[in-house]
Amino acid sequence: MEQPKPLTKQEFDNNRFAGRGASALHDEKEFFQLGPILGIIIQDRVDSDWSFVVMAKEGADPLFRAVDYEVSISGQDLCRTLLFERMHKYVAKKVVS
């Protein structure tokens, strides 16, 4: 099974997003791409737990939007594993264009 490709923050930020803004409450730690899907791993600055967001373009919309996420994950490795599983789900089901 193909693994999501790591991206730099700059490569990730080169995409167009709907409603994505910086937050003083979290740190964006890792960025990935799997086909048409983007994923980001985030660490909460308040309680140090982990979250991820899966993003995709929907239909003819040129902007990436959140299509899935999970919060309050106990560790970065587990967060990455869960993110990759969700990214593969969206690619396999062709839920997005």
C-beta separation of 35 from 67 below 8 A: no
Structural domain count, the chain? 1
pLDDT at residue 97 is higher than 50: no
Report the SS3 class of residue 84.
Answer: helix
User: In the prediction, which pLDDT does 87 show?
Assistant: 96
Separation in Å, CA 10 to CA 6, 7, 30, 31, 46 = 12, 8, 11, 10, 25
CA angle 47, 70, 92 (to 5 degrees): 150
Write the pLDDT tens digit of every residue in 20-39: 655 667 788 999 999 999 99
- For the entire predicted model, the pTM comes to 0.80
Write the pLDDT tens digit of every residue in 35-58: 999 999 999 988 999 999 999 988
The whole domain housing 24 covers 5-93
Write the pLDDT tens digit of every residue in 74-87: 999 999 999 999 99
User: In the prediction, which pLDDT does 25 show?
Assistant: 72
